[in-house]
Amino acid sequence: MASDDNIIIADDAVIHPGDLHEDFIRSSGPGGQNVNKVATAVQLRFDAANATGLSERVRERTIKLAGQRATKDGVIVIEAGRFRTQEQNRADARARLTALVAKAAEPPPPPRKKTRPSKGAVERRLKSKAGRGTIKKLRGRVGDD
């Protein structure tokens, strides 16, 4: 995926390259001297609040789904440092951002249909309640005969 191309996710969700900002930082974890010398991890910033390619619904859901990865200003920060090369980490960060926006662009689920218990189910429930009540009544004191 070239960096100058738009990332098209859905009709109402397109990520423009101008909305992305990448910083390369030092990666944590094992890797010997390479970790101390080379900035291979990528910190991808996506300004979701001001992104022109997102509809209002997708924008709000993206920020909501991002959770703690989103700042108060609506900027989503994704850090990727799993791999040893900048290109792999860069592709990983973009893939994670694309997946996040794709999840936000999914149509909302249809509203739940209200259901009612069948007449037989209601009768069975009331019969079992009456039976339990009878059992509990019989637990009382035994009368003198």
Question: pLDDT at residue 3 above 50?
Answer: no
- Span 63-68, mean pLDDT? 87
pLDDT given at position 110: 93
pLDDT given at position 127: 97
pLDDT given at position 119: 96
pLDDT given at position 29: 65
Strands (E), the chain: 7-10, 13-15, 20-25, 41-47, 75-80
3-state helix vs strand vs coil in the chain, percent to 5: 40, 20, 40
Question: pLDDT at residue 114 above 90?
Answer: yes
Q: Which residues pair with 41 in a beta bridge?
A: 25
Identify the CA nearest to 109 among candidates 66, 63, 61: 61
pLDDT given at position 4: 53
pLDDT-derived band at 133, boundaries 50, 70, 90: very high
pLDDT given at position 1: 45
Is 9 or 110 the better-scoring residue by pLDDT? 110
pLDDT tens digits, 5-36: 777 777 777 887 777 888 888 877 666 676 67
pLDDT tens digits, 81-107: 888 888 889 899 989 988 988 888 888
- Span 37-56, mean pLDDT? 84
